[in-house]
Amino acid sequence: MTITHSLHRGPGAPPLHEQIAQRVQRQIHDQLLVPGSRLESVRDCARRHGVNPQTVVAAYDLLQAQGLVESRVRQGFFVRSAAPRAEAGQDAGAAQLPPPTHATALMRAMFAHLHAPDATGAVPGAGTLPAHWLLAAPLARVLRQLVRDEQFTQATSSYGHPEGDPLLRTELARQLGESQVPVSADGLLLCNGATQALDLILRTLTRPGDSVMVEQPGWAVQFAQLAQAGLRLLPVPRGPEGPDLERVRHWARSRRPRLMVVVSRLHNPTGQCLGSACAHRLLELAREHDFRVVEDDVYAPLCEQASTLLSAMDGLQRTILIGGFSKLLAPGWRVGYVAASQALAERLRDTKLLCGLSSPMLTERALALLLQRGGVHRQAAALRARLARARQRVVRLARDHGCRFETSPNGLFGWVDTGVDTDLLARLLHDSGYLIAPGRLFDPRGEPSTYMRVNFAHAQDLGFWSAYARTLRALGR
């Protein structure tokens, strides 16, 4: 799936300035250019398209007349923005504005690419595994069995359990117990994926104006969820062993946050795992300063080595564990869970009742049967082996094309330095039909970045790396 960068110059083709304006319009519509973004300089745009600078000026003037961009003296052209200014007196280190709106644009574009019939290899920035890697046949067999089960079919004619399928919660409690997380079925709440799990936690434990610590880099969809809930984001740099504890202490003393969201295993986007010493000290700070830790563990099945779980160390006293099976089995099933103390689980259940009543019984029971039969365990082992081969290939390709990995490649994602502004890189590769995840997405303040997240399973396509190389040459690198 490739789309040429060049403009159409034949008889009957639209004027060149209109073609440039249309491309910028599309990027604004797709939120690759978000409010406040600076357009390419006139000189750079003219050089890349092989046109006279006056042609680019005419294109930008057209966009300005349409109300899409604005000109700033001696600065250039910018996408028009109605973003509020930071409140006076706020801590300069906090994320003052809502996170970049193109977090949702990445999701929409990812869905569009994944559902397109010719999109193979076009989503190196995706957050999921390829569909053909997943467990389609065993899922179908279990579903057929349940459909033929008259007793179960009768049960689905009424609302399911608000907490989720009892059999699945029992199996999950057993599985988590093997990871030393002390939770019973009563302490588990099933959700519509890990995204809903976090939403229920925010609705239950926070109010607009509260502060929440987040990792930097971290996942833009979580940032967007927090911002939409009216919460103030406090960035905490993520290092090889975990979050910067001095920054955690600073925020805990100065802003008294309600929560901190942490990924212990296979951090998104760096692939790092939490060190035990860092985990121990983080829990001490949570107790000392009275905040809870939300532990996001959705990538755990892809983790190849034993790693620290905050929830196991803490016994779910100040921790809340989020997990799910969408990444491992079937993204469309949207089965996730929250593990918490029994008292908090009851509060979360009440929130879920108000937001969505009950759970989808069919998919939850099917997953319970797969867990019982060892199908989930076998699937995880097979995916880890397949992912390891893909990761080895992509690491070689990325390094051959001048990328530098910030941390040792691990898990599903690589965090690579490209040496160029990846917002611009994303826009140019978008014209070639490739979707990447630029570093700005993973910064709670939405700062420009030279980093991008690479999905090892989706970035094996040689066509992508050829387009990447061509784009770097077009940028003069």
pLDDT on residue 414: 95
Confidence of residue 400 (pLDDT cuts 50, 70, 90): very high
Over 80: is that where the pLDDT of 116 sits? no
Q: What is the mean pLDDT of the chain?
A: 85
Distance, CA of 391 to CA of 412 (rounded, Å): 8
- Please give the CATH topology (third level) of the domain spanning 136-374: Aspartate Aminotransferase; domain 2 (3.40.640)
Confidence of residue 3 (pLDDT cuts 50, 70, 90): very low
Over 80: is that where the pLDDT of 379 sits? yes
Over 70: is that where the pLDDT of 114 sits? no
Over 60: is that where the pLDDT of 184 sits? yes
pLDDT 10s digits, 146-173: 878 776 766 666 677 888 999 999 999 9
What the block records as the tokens of 127 is 């957050």
Residue 289's nearest CA partner among 248, 324, 323, 320 is 248
Query: Looking at per-residue confidence, does 445 or 457 come out higher?
Result: 457
pLDDT on residue 129: 87
Question: Which sequence spans correspond to the domains of the chain?
Answer: 16-79, 102-130+378-474, 136-374
pLDDT 10s digits, 411-424: 999 999 999 999 88
Contact between 303 and 265 under an 8 Å Cβ cutoff? The reply is yes
Is the bond preceding 269 in cis, omega lying within 30 degrees of 0?
yes
Distance, CA of 178 to CA of 381 (rounded, Å): 16
Distance, CA of 146 to CA of 311 (rounded, Å): 34
Contact between 330 and 171 under an 8 Å Cβ cutoff? The reply is no
Whole-angstrom CA distances from 50 to 20, 45, 95, 420, 474 are 12, 8, 39, 21, 11
Helix/strand/coil for 81 = coil
Confidence of residue 105 (pLDDT cuts 50, 70, 90): low
Backbone angles phi, psi at 400, to 5 degrees: -60, -25
- Residues 6 or more apart whose CB falls under 8 angstroms from that of 282 comprise 242, 243, 245, 248, 260, 262, 293, 310
Least confident piece of the model among 272-276, 350-354, 371-375, 395-399: 371-375
Q: What is the mean pLDDT of residues 314-343?
A: 88
CB burial of residue 42 (10 Å; 0-12, 13-18, 19+): middle
**Which amino acid is located at 235 in the chain?**
P
- Please give the CATH topology (third level) of the domain spanning 102-130+378-474: Aspartate Aminotransferase, domain 1 (3.90.1150)
Judged by phi (left if over 0) then psi (alpha if -120 to 50, else beta), residue 117 lies in: alpha
**The domain 16-79: what is its CATH number?**
1.10.10.10
pTM: 0.80
Q: What is the mean pLDDT of residues 54-68?
A: 89
